[in-house]
A and B are shown apart, each in its own frame.
Chain A
Amino acid sequence: MSIEIRHAVGAGGVNRRPDVMLIQILLNLAYPTGSAEPLLKVDGMAGPRTAKAIRQFQGDAIAMMHPDGRVDPGGKTFQYLTMYLSTQHEKAIAQAMAGDFSVLKRLTRVKKDPVTSAGLANYSVNYSSRLSASKHVVSEYAKQIVRVALKQAGMSHAVITSTIRTPEEQARIMLRNAKIDLAAQYRLYGRNGDAVLDVFKENKTKTDAEIVSLMVSKIESLEDNGKRVSKHCVSLDLYKKRNVFDIGFNSTKTANRKFNPERLAKAFSDLKREGYIATFIDETRKSNKAWHLEVKVGAKPISKIDDGSILNTVNWINKKAVA
């Protein structure tokens, strides 16, 4: 079942009955009473109690400065209302919309603090199963930055597919991507990376194993002269100061029920502009199919709030959750 409304609900909305019913159900799920009586009666009538509950939610979960008491199709309030729905929730909603409220009532009896659930704790940033434990070196600070981006994008999971690399891992990745689009790789690497790509270009007729071996030799000879080929390919000490990692497009897509790549890219761009992310390269339309992020650990305290910062929401919610 697709959870969506056709027209706006609440103050100034069209208030089509099925749309109002759905919003009332979603608000009941967001504010479980812990008793048999839900917050709102699901009658499809948009009265002052429904508008008040929408405003309450807009303040609690989205930290809107001026809650307007209205839910637009696909808008931010709707996005936040549906962010945490499980398959179980969706089934219960479908049944309720058909007139059977039994399962939904059980769900709303479980008291769950909506403020806490709107914080960052529910967003997961995990490593791909292909990454060994020795590669699990991304700082908690960097993960929090990614969680903020997930929240802004209305997504719940991000999967880290690449962190620190050995010369051999670097060579294999460059070989794979160079085979797909060599010109794009030349654009993405500096002079040292280009020298390694030249090795690929000059030895295309050899086997992959031979090419990788030659590329590794080139990477190591450059490193001997203090030159790094990729920001992924550095010492652990340097890596700990500056986390360089990729969020995989396909694995993140698989992990999310709601997947908004454009919104996630925008959130990363916003966080870069605010100084939380040092470098962001959207490679999702390139051979690597990933979001490349570089985070200088502790560069800017996550609690720091600037006017208009996208962290305002998160800080406000987290403060309220702590209080």
Chain B
Amino acid sequence: MKASSLWSLPLLLSAVIFSSACVAEPRCQYSPDFVSSNYSEPVGEGVQGVLVQREDPTSGETVKSLTLSYPNGDVAVITHKYCEMYNFEVNYFRSSGSNAFDSAQVGSVLMKLFDAYSQVQAEFTPGLDEIVASAFDEQMAVAQQQFSVGLSEDYVVDSPGVEYAVGMKSIGDVSSDFGSVINFYWGVGGL
């Protein structure tokens, strides 16, 4: 090991120690490593993933995000934010050239992402895909192209106390690559 490397080692170590002390400061029900390596595996052929880890500056919660790029141009950003409670969020950006909107397909995509990545799972009756599709059908029927609605906890078997919601927003006027973004939120625990 070179002398310069040796000199920089204490600095590096102190940076690591300082950094972990910052993350560990709040007493968390979910420790920073609660979301481990399996959040990094992209699901699907030809799908590429990019990982980002940070600390929420407002709350001190650990935030781990995985951005998945699909061959058709769609992009999904999957975010885990946690400490006292576990927040799981999917923002699915539909590319401008995506097929016509299909609520059943949206339900299926969100359910697959939930099953693959959420670190706190639950059983839904009916299935999550049907719950989501039904919510989209209902909102679309009243011509809502932009919405965000909470979903019933009654559908969650033996609910550990959750809040979850789906929504959609048109972003075609601010993005040349994407026409809309679909959002799914799942929060477990907390007050």
Contact = CB atoms under 8 A, between A and B. Distances in A.
Contacts of A187: 26, 28, 59-61, 83-85
25 contacts: A183-B60, A184-B26, A186-B61, A188-B190, A189-B190, A190-B87, A190-B163, A190-B187, A190-B190, A191-B87, A192-B150, A193-B190, A193-B191, A222-B150, A225-B147, A226-B150, A227-B149, A227-B163, A227-B165, A228-B163, A279-B160, A279-B161, A281-B189, A285-B27, A294-B161
B39 interface: no
B155 interface: no
A183 B149 contact: no
Interface residues of A, number: 27
Contacts of A191: 87, 89, 163, 165, 185, 187
A292 interface: yes
A292 B191 contact: yes
Contacts of A232: 191
B151 interface: yes
A278 interface: yes
Given A187-B26, A227-B165, A281 B61 contact: no
Nearest to A222: B150
Judged by DSSP, the binding face of A is: mixed
Interface string A199-237: 000000000000000000000001001111011100000
A189 B150 contact: no
Contact of A188 (B58, B84, B153): B84
B31 interface: no
A192 B61 CA distance: 16
Most interface-central of A186, A187, A231, A294 (chain B CB within 10 A): A187
A281 B191 contact: yes
Contact of B149 (A226, A238, A281): A226
A151 interface: no
Contacts of B26: 183-184, 187
Interface residues of B, number: 30
Given A190-B87, A191-B89, A292-B191, 18 more contacts: A184-B26, A186-B59, A187-B28, A187-B85, A188-B84, A189-B85, A190-B163, A191-B87, A191-B187, A225-B148, A226-B149, A227-B148, A227-B163, A227-B165, A278-B161, A279-B160, A279-B189, A281-B190
Contacts of A242: 161
Nearest to A198: B58
Contacts of A281: 29, 84, 189-191
Interface in A258-299: 278-279, 281, 285, 292, 294
A232 to B, nearest CB: 7
Interface string A141-160: 00000000000000000000
A179 to B, nearest CB: 15
Contacts of B153: 238
B85 A225 contact: no
A228 B161 contact: no
A187 B83 CA distance: 6
Nearest to A299: B158
Contacts of B58: 182-183, 186
Nearest to A173: B191
Contacts of B150: 192, 222, 225-228
A270 to B, nearest CB: 16
Nearest to A201: B58
A20 B90 CA distance: 66
Most interface-central of B60, B83, B163, B185 (chain A CB within 10 A): B163
A192 B85 CA distance: 13
A193 B165 CA distance: 13
B85 A188 contact: yes
A244 to B, nearest CB: 8
Most interface-central of B28, B147, B189 (chain A CB within 10 A): B189
Interface string B17-33: 00000000011110000
Interface string B58-80: 11110000000000000000000
B157 to A, nearest CB: 12
B160 to A, nearest CB: 6
Contacts of A192: 150, 163
